[in-house]
Structure 1
């Protein structure tokens, strides 16, 4: 299932990598696309939205509605 999140706090490529690593640590088959300028993160994963939000926020970023 493809889900899109608005993530605030990402300011550079290292931030993008941190978000991607956090998601992949929980679901190593997830497909992730990050648009840094807009803060949109699209994730194709079978994990529930609440789990993905928790993983991103545990990595130090804030998730708001897209």
Structure 2
């Protein structure tokens, strides 16, 4: 399970774009986004750095990451 603090998310389009970016790395990833907290929780076995890069390439800066 990963948690990312992602800047710039404000609407459903943002949720879809970030979810799509994560699923391009891991098609079976479970993605939960809380816009008010700018928090993305991801259940995936993919490499955290690859996920972070995909989200940033989609146009959303990742301020912080953690793995649990």
Q: TM-score, normalised by structure 2?
A: 0.90
In the TM superposition, what are the counterparts of 1:1-66 in structure 2 within 5 Å? 2-65=1-64
Q: Number of matched residues? A: 65
- Structure 2 residue runs without a partner (length 5+): none
Spell out, residue by residue over 1:18-54, the C-alpha distance to the aligned partner (whole angstroms, 9 max, x if none). Answer: 0001111221110000001100000011111111110
- Structure 1 residue runs without a partner (length 5+): none
Q: CA RMSD in A?
A: 0.9
SS at match of 1:47: coil
Q: TM-score, normalised by structure 1?
A: 0.93
